[in-house]
């Protein structure tokens, strides 16, 4: 199994650039499914997270309004907050360390892309942030309470940015890292570039729409995620008309 190395702050929060995360994602995919780093294809993100990384999975309603899509549990706990729609109440359940909890709403037929992105995101937390959140229950804590046992993940834009970077704290950085890794796992950089280079030339007006559609169908991701990934990689320009605008 591949074990990435990267810089960390003194408090254990990773320090990662986009280039580093792209490289880490490709190394993981190469180890998990070498063929997927030879030919552009859909990544089996469930198998990657559950079989390769070895996480467990559970499904619950994580809120009353769908604000939380997923959760990664780092330590054994009996304090996982969930929503019970039958009684319109919240209660705690137990979960083992290294459990990914997915909101039940993502099991709906039209939520496949959000589900896949969320699974990649939670896998990213396990890869990058387990050391920050987890603790040894056999050791005494120097604090009044042990490290938080879980991280709840809100629905956010595919770029992971809900406020200016200059205002980010460690939690914001970790959410961005998990988001970017999910994108890089689902759409490995070299395979996206290889796919685009394989396409015939298009008239400028249709180029963005064609590129986005090809990434969507090849990697089984959403239009928004595909479009943003292509812009991040410099394959289409920010500010260019989107696939949605072309379809009007």
Strand order in the sheet with 68-73: 56-60, 99-103, 68-73, 150-154
| Mean of the per-residue pLDDT values of the chain | 88
pLDDT digits (tens, 9 = 90+) for 162-202: 678 888 999 999 999 999 999 999 999 999 999 999 988 76
pLDDT digits (tens, 9 = 90+) for 40-51: 999 999 999 999
Q: Is pLDDT at 247 greater than 70 in this prediction?
A: no
Q: Is pLDDT at 207 greater than 80 in this prediction?
A: no
**Region 126-150: what's the mean pLDDT?**
64
Q: What are phi and psi of 102, to 5 degrees?
A: -110, 135
How distant is the alpha carbon of residue 217 from its chain centre?
Answer: 19
Q: 39 near 190, Cβ under 8 Å?
A: no
Tokens of 139: 């050791």
**Region 76-103: what's the mean pLDDT?**
95
Q: 87 near 70, Cβ under 8 Å?
A: no
**Region 91-119: what's the mean pLDDT?**
96
Position with higher pLDDT, 231 vs 161: 231
Q: Is pLDDT at 144 greater than 50 in this prediction?
A: no
Q: 155 near 66, Cβ under 8 Å?
A: yes
Tokens of 49: 């997270």
């Amino acid at each position: 199994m591949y074990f990435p190395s990267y810089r960390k702050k003194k408090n254990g929060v990773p320090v990662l650039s986009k280039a580093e995360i792209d490289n880490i994602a490709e190394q993981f995919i190469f180890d998990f499914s070498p063929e997927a780093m030879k030919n552009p294809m859909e990544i089996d993100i469930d198998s990657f997270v559950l079989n390769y990384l070895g996480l467990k999975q559970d499904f619950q309603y994580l809120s009353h309004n769908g604000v939380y899509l997923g959760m990664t549990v780092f330590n054994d706990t009996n304090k996982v907050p969930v929503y019970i729609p039958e009684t319109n109440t919240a209660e705690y359940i137990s979960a083992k360390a290294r459990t990914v909890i997915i909101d039940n709403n993502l099991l709906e037929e039209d939520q496949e892309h959000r589900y896949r992105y969320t699974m990649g995101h939670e896998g990213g937390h396990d890869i990058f942030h387990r050391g920050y959140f987890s603790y040894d229950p056999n050791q005494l804590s120097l604090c009044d309470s042990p490290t938080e046992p879980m991280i709840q993940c809100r629905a956010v834009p595919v770029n992971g940015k809900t406020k200016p970077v200059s205002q980010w704290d460690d939690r914001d950085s970790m959410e961005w890292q998990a988001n970017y890794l999910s994108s890089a796992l689902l759409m490995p950089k070299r395979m996206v570039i290889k796919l685009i280079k394989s396409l015939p030339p298009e008239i400028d007006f249709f180029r963005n729409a064609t590129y986005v559609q090809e990434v969507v169908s090849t990697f089984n991701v959403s239009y928004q995620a595909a479009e943003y990934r292509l812009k991040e990689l410099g394959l289409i320009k920010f500010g260019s008309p989107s696939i949605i605008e072309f379809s009007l």
